[in-house]
Structure 1
Amino acid sequence: MSTDAKLADTAWPRAMLFDLDGTLVDSVPDIADAINTVLVAEGFPALEIADVRKMIGNGIQKLVERAFAASGKPLAGDELARMTDRMMEVYAKGLTVATVLMPGAAAAAAWLHQRGHRLAVVTNKPEAFSREIVEHFGLDKMFTVVVGGDTCATRKPDPQMLFHACRELGVAPEDAILVGDSPADVNAALAGGFPSIAVRGGYTNIAVEELGADCVIDSLDDLGEALTRLPARLRSA
């Protein structure tokens, strides 16, 4: 994080909404271990981590659905619900075994917090899991709001979670930016009228330049400079 980066308008954005998996943390090793434990117990071979990475982004049930479909056994209904519950049980025991912060995450959060920006995590991962991960890395000191996939009635790419985070932070939606790494993140921002910054190196099957974000950065180390590069129409909002 470039600590000398200056915003054109220090009053904006008042809030920054961050995705968790692939944006703030690299959680794929623990997620892959959990889904592979479930698959192996059901008689299927373990998936490669690279394949699991492509399945992340729309919540645990969707991950389970994709993993079993890739293993040749599509699931639906009660069977999908049962395997999702099993995945939740397994994953809950290993949320932070091999999960690490993404490059620049701690420095970016500290810098934004020091400048007075209000910070929230908005993720499709269950809220309790997300809070445990945020607290494990000491990010709870800066991220005062955590919105998980079970917090609201809908998940990203629906924008309801973003609006909820703004209400919890006490800011208007037009005073917030979303930072994420996947189609679900950017599409939620687009649907809700939020500016967005996309970070490379996350969990997306679409080239990050094609997601439709207002700005693309290589890592969160570049966030300060990126805020100065946002279109003037956004910075003067």
Structure 2
Amino acid sequence: MTSPDKTGPYTLVFDLDGTLVDTAPDLITALNHVLEREGLPPVPMASARNMIGAGARKLIERGLEAEGRTVTPADMDRLTTDFIAYYADHIAVESRPFEGLLDALDLFAAQGHRLAVCTNKLEWLSKRLLDQLDLSRRFAAICGADTFGVQKPDPTIFRETVARAGGEVKASIMVGDAGTDVGVARRAGVPVIGVSFGYTDVPIADLKPDRLIHHMRDLPAAADSLMVPQAAGKALR
């Protein structure tokens, strides 16, 4: 991988669910807890994975739709509150970092690059999850849907995350698994690495990320290929 004295430090900005951590087991358990309280059958793990990625409320909506149910806005508020309370208490029962992630993060850190999280998960839930997995200390910034009042793909959340991490947008890369991640990168004018093992109802390859990886061991090389030597005086886009 290119050394920082060649490129200067970059900021690698990661999505959380389906990119850093396989959170599907605990999210779907929380969803099924809510569905069970409504007298509905559980959603199978395999079919529920692609429901993840747009926040708790959307996950519940998709779970209800799978059972042919709709609810009032007031009921949705209640279900979302119940979901978050249950999920917060069971946030890292089965959730684990994807294989190869820790080695990749160690390499980036050793070479002087900054690491940040930019997710549509609530900030406090994101920090609780990363704390319980002993990952929080690796990131200079952990920003969620409520941190700046906007969500991906609004580029403001990306720019502010990079700033909070102490980096520069012109020397940053987004890493994610879904359309919101590709979208925020495009709107912020930065390259994006897609991961094929996450949660999305549209295959990430169809969204044309600048690089596509199928395992975290391939992330350092993909990131290196997108890092522009600062001495060349080039912009990323």
Deviations 1:123-164 (A, max 9, x none): 111111111121222222211210012212121122221111
The aligned counterpart of 2:196 is: 200
Aligned match of 1:154 in 144, 150, 158? 150
Amino acid at match of 2:135: L
Aligned match of 2:29 in 28, 33, 45? 33
Does the aligned pair in 1 maintain the 2:4–2:111 contact within 8 Å? no
1:43 corresponds to 2:1: no
1:180 corresponds to 2:172: no
TM-score (norm 1): 0.91
Does the aligned pair in 2 maintain the 1:69–1:75 contact within 8 Å? no
SS in 1 for 2:94: coil
Instruction: State the alpha-carbon separation in 1 of the partners of residues 8 and 216 from structure 2.
Output: 18
The aligned counterpart of 2:69 is: 73
Q: Deviation of residue 52 (structure 1)?
A: 1.8
How many residue pairs get matched? 233
Aligned match of 2:139 in 143, 158, 164? 143
Q: Deviation of residue 12 (structure 1)?
A: 4.8
Does the aligned pair in 1 maintain the 2:10–2:113 contact within 8 Å? yes
Q: Deviation of residue 9 (structure 1)?
A: 7.2
Once the two structures are superposed, the pairs formed by residues 214-225 of structure 1 within 5 Å of their partners are 214-225=210-221
SS in 2 for 1:58: coil
The aligned counterpart of 1:228 is: 224
Aligned match of 1:210 in 206, 212, 226? 206
TM-score (norm 2): 0.91
Amino acid at match of 1:218: H
Q: After the TM superposition, which segments of 4 or more aligned residues of structure 1 sit over 6 Å from their partners?
A: 231-235
Structure 2 portions without partners, runs of 5+: none
The aligned counterpart of 1:88 is: 84
The aligned counterpart of 1:126 is: 122
Does the aligned pair in 2 maintain the 1:183–1:204 contact within 8 Å? yes
Q: Percent identity over the alignment?
A: 35
SS in 1 for 2:7: coil
Amino acid at match of 1:188: V
Does the aligned pair in 2 maintain the 1:200–1:218 contact within 8 Å? yes
CA separation of 1:228 and 1:16: change in aligned 2, threshold 3 A: closer
Amino acid at match of 1:184: T
Instruction: State the alpha-carbon separation in 1 of the partners of residues 68 and 208 from structure 2.
Output: 33
